[in-house]
A and B are shown apart, each in its own frame.
Chain A
């Protein structure tokens, strides 16, 4: 943990262990999940035990896809402390069979389409009690390939 580095000063990850921190600048960062070699299921966030196989499974750390599909969303207009409404939250399905809850980069309903591709990015989602920017993963609408 490079606490005090100039590039992370005033910024904190939403939670440790979800993605590389500090974030690389080249856009290569992915979310880190787990894959159970016993039953083939993948998980996010990482788990040490598969809920299905328990001690019988072998959990391997895997990078998750940077593209997924938007399943549904809402625009939150009454927010908890630290968050600035309006912001969009969504459920995103990744090809690994993982569903993520995350914010979107836009809160404009005209730019958001269900069952369309979205891609991973990182940015501030809130401020913590100490005034730091809370950095997390977000998704933005993407062009179909």
Chain B
């Protein structure tokens, strides 16, 4: 057997902070053979990114420290290299792509110059040669009209294009190993598919090895040869991708595979990691009724009971200001002549790529953004033009759960204060104690510990914060809730728990949802009816099962085909 390109042996990394020592990576070993792709899968905080940073020699100093182990690259231990030697390797023999294309490019330089810079540093090219090579690379990564695009600045490109530029930079020096840290997590599903296909082609063309880090086992199926599953700083399972998909051994891996909703029928509630193992990591037997898939239309509780919300020809424009005095010179039609009805107690899914107007539509319905034309009829009442006290009273009925659990909670308020605030605004509850009792009741319902009432948001994880947001939205006992990408920022394993929670709460409180997402499989799982949005218009609408089985529009078909199938690439 030939020696692998990269071999991590018994690696242990600790982080030394003022609060004490945290073990980020605990005695892990894995190999990346030449020309192969290894996927590293795990939830946030499992140590997968720390592992990649250790390989690059980019651990945050002095906090992060390799306690023991070896990282052999071509037989040489990278941990013994000094900073100068590492700099020659980084960007040259090992290069890296980061998660966030929006912040990984320098906004004041042309993208062509940023790619050329990598070449002038490591390959001693002159400016002209480097620029020509940069244009050539941009062509290879599929950026349209590369000679012109090289003169663009990062803000003139879309997220997918920026990620392509990052890939061009990473492969510029034909590295032997490419480390990709969640390169597609920030992208829409169609763009994600294109980027993954691009990376597979480039890997074969350049005969690179690849370390692909993700929280989503579904993404890796198309791409990886081997999979390493990390959980709480340890490797719990590693195997060929085929063996993992067909017969995962560790309960955590089984949970990860099961928690992603698929496009066909799903169980009533998604399986989560906690169905497969308990807190101590002991394997559990999943009860048979949890595995039964069901047909949504046969569930009596999901039969509609009349129309709750009707949208008629709704249009929302944003003015484009220009000229010397900031006059309005034109309008963007963010939402353009949209009409639909939502039945009581049902979930209406809105899917589309970023910029299609789905978020604007959700906020216009709640009157957080003013509509330009059309009508919003809620429970028989036209709410398009109500203001003041009437609108404030309506807010009790209609609520929203935002996407980003980090920015949607005020960092200076405790959970108790956050949950009590809607009650104070609407004069519910006689005393502080009474309001806190109501807050405690909902905390319990959304699966938070009541004793955490006096904690601040920064002390919670992303999933817990989203539960706080859900509790806040439900404090006023609304009838109607807009979930705006409410699970998109969460790891798949947490996403399943939150989706289950939303369904439980829908049953308990008889809620009607608009569920906005770019993730078609999530929308399929949770929605009764689905509308596909493109360019501010609804292009296709109907029962979820119908749209997914027989899409009539080309756009819907392309969205559906972009979903990672979660299948290994060869059987």
Same complex origin of A and B: no
